[in-house]
Amino acid sequence: MIRERSAGDVVFNVANTVFLAITSIVTIYPLYYVFIYSLNNAQDSVLGGLYLYVRSFTFQNYTALFRSSEVVNAYAITAARTVIGMIANTFLSALFAYGMQKKRLIGRKLYHAIAIIPMFFSGGLIPTYLLIRGLGLTNSFLVYVVPTLVGIWYMIVTKAYLNTIPASIEESARMDGANELVIFVRIIVPMAVPILACVALWNAIAHWNAWFDAYIYTSRDSLQTIQLLIRKMIRREAGTAFNQPMMVEMLKLRQVTPRSMQAAATVVTIAPILVVYPFIQRYFIKGIVLGAVKE
């Protein structure tokens, strides 16, 4: 039996719809504005009044952006750390979770406590920097990968999922002569694809958006990430990304402006996430649900 909606239900639905519509506009419009600004002629944009559509369409901002070797190199560094960091962290976190899931593991509770404590208590920035420097990771590409090889939160989420896999499957494989590594690679990993995909996506987004580690642990321009480069462009530190001969010439000819370059760089940075996210949203939801499962 369908209950007839009351006046209160109608008012609530209308108010909720209006609220969500306003929230969506407030959230999406800044991104849309940056997008149309990046596609508009720089000198026309300076005149103002650019709010809803592109008045003078051009790709000059993007052409100038990718003529900068700094931008291309920063984009390559970000892509490399994202792919390598995602694969390494996902695999090792899953391997750690597989071991921690075994109740027969000697010292299991101690290992679990050692893993959990750093989630709540940090050594601080200075001790962390001294540790990274002591390991010889400063001004090295490995500083983007090694400190994040294992994620404790990812381990916990993966472990919660592995607990749902029947132990009889592993026992059958073990009776057939399979060792732990074979069981993990050929049985556990295929069965844990949903949670591993979720963890991989979390890793990828974290690496793609990271900039602070590059800011703290590296001083070489060849190792800066695209996020750090955009930060410098917005802050206009020492004319970063505007010191290439071709770009300087285009600035002199008034074909681009620092603000139009910033808009183009922002779009290039966030575009991969915006394109991929609709296809991976269900994995985020599943990962959040699995992370809430009580062990």
Q: What are the per-10-residue average pLDDT scores of the chain (295 residues)?
A: 68 89 90 87 77 82 80 88 92 88 81 82 84 88 89 85 81 80 84 84 87 88 85 61 53 67 83 77 63 50
Please report the pLDDT score of residue 244 as a whole number: 56
CA–CA separation, 176 vs 154, rounded Å?
Answer: 31
Would you state the pLDDT for residue 19?
93
Asked if residue 67 is part of any domain, the answer here is yes
3-state secondary structure of 40: strand
| Residue 106 phi, psi (nearest 5) | -70, 130
Task: Give a yes or no: residue 42 inside a domain.
Answer: no
* pLDDT given at position 236: 61
Contacts of 258 by beta carbon, 8 Å cutoff, 6+ apart:
233, 236, 242, 251
Check residue 3 and give its pLDDT.
61
| Lookup: tokens for 270 | 């966030």
CATH of the domain at 152: 1.10.3720.10
User: Which residue range(s) make up the domain with 183?
Assistant: 59-295
Residue 177 maps to a domain: yes
What is the per-residue pLDDT for 18?
92
Q: DSSP 3-state assignment of 57?
A: strand
Q: What is the reported pLDDT for 1?
A: 47
Q: Do the domain assignments include residue 31?
A: no
Position 162 in a domain: yes
* Residue 195 resides in a domain: yes
Is 196 within a domain? yes
Alpha helices (runs of H) in 39-103, residue ranges in sequence order:
42-46, 60-66, 69-100
Q: Which of 256, 221, 257 is nearest to 238 (CA)?
A: 221
pLDDT at residue 238, rounded to an integer = 39
Cα 40–Cα 43–Cα 47 angle in degrees, nearest 5:
95
Q: Please give the Cα distance from 162 to 187 (Å, whole number).
A: 11
The number of distinct structural domains making up the chain is 1
- Residue 57 — φ and ψ, nearest 5°? -70, 135
Identify the pLDDT of residue 2: 55
Domain for residue 164, yes or no?
Answer: yes
CA pair distance 288, 268, nearest whole angstrom: 28
Which of 210, 205, 192 lies closest to 86 in space, CA to CA?
A: 205
